[in-house]
Amino acid sequence: MSPELFDTHAHLHFPDFQEDFDAMMGRAREAGVRRMVTIGTDVETSQAALAIAERDPDVWATVGLHPHDAGAGDAALFDELARLARSPRVVALGEMGLDFFRNLSPRPVQETAFRRQLALARELGKPVVLHCRDAHAETLAILAEERVSEVGGIMHCFSGDVEVARRCLDLGLVISIAGPVTYPNARALPAVVRFVPADRLVVETDCPFLPPQPFRGKRNEPAHVTITAARVAELRGERLEDLAPRLTDNALRVFGLGGA
């Protein structure tokens, strides 16, 4: 039997899964991926994420505004996010952060949306899901200023080096490893995976994006988190059966799902 895993970052509500949603969820469960968090990126996808979480007791939602969409962040949008975020099925705010790789929204606009969501997370006492691409110094500075340690959270699809990981850990964050750890050019990720303590590590698919190596070029889905978790265990020199329950415990803890 495959060990149970928790996909901490999926976009199950994206149109990519509309056609075969039930079959995709069936494959996830077959693979041992029992619990998932589906991640909002704007108002529409946050509403859709919450709708799935209200239907399925093993799926929870986040609501947030992705840095790509930060330009849409007016007062009405933040009011609606705040309203959605109060649902008990919403376990975190985000994804939020800075993306200076694609720069789809101007940087000051990204920063404002990021700070507003961190303030909302503090107000509601919920953790955050962080997106950071080519903006580690700026992201870490804002996280410290906005006292992220008061709520905790996950640095999703971690793409930094050991030094960035150390600073995330110092801020009280958990590191999430996605499909790129399986790529031949995984850069600093193998060293990061060995460095992070076993009680501060989780795994994710970020599906439909970033499929692990054997599925590159195809749509990613939650069942494939098993490949990423197996690679993480291999890099750490641990058995997946031993590591998997710890990864799941970490996910339950960071999302405040103690009794789930």
Nearer to Zn ion, 148 or 240 (CB): 148
CB of 259 to Zn ion, least distance (A): 27
The only residue of 116, 131, 224, 236 in contact with Zn ion, by rule CB under 5 A: 131
Cα Rg of the chain, angstroms: 17
> Residues 1 to 40: which contact Zn ion by CB under 5 A?
none
CB of 156 to Zn ion, least distance (A): 6
Q: Check binding of 69 to Zn ion (CB under 5 A).
A: no
Q: What span, in angstroms and rounded, lies between the C-alpha atoms of 209 and 218?
A: 9
Interface region with Zn ion, contact rule CB under 5 A, candidates 24-32, 129-137, 161-169, 179-187 = 129-137
Nearer to Zn ion, 69 or 206 (CB): 206
Interface region with Zn ion, contact rule CB under 5 A, candidates 74-82, 113-121, 203-211, 228-236 = 203-211
By C-alpha distance, which of 227, 199, 258 is closest to 5? 227
- Residue 231's alpha-carbon distances to 5, 179, 182, in angstroms, are 14, 9, 6
Q: Check binding of 99 to Zn ion (CB under 5 A).
A: no
Helix segments in the chain, DSSP class H: 21-30, 43-55, 75-85, 107-124, 136-145, 162-170, 189-195, 225-236, 240-254
Q: Check binding of 68 to Zn ion (CB under 5 A).
A: no
The only residue of 159, 206, 212, 224 in contact with Zn ion, by rule CB under 5 A: 206
Q: Exposed (0-12), middle (13-18) or buried (19+): which is 207, by Cβ within 10 Å?
A: buried
- What is the H or E stretch that residue 9 is in? strand 5-10
Q: Check binding of 42 to Zn ion (CB under 5 A).
A: no
Q: Which residues bind Zn ion (CB under 5 A)?
A: 131, 206
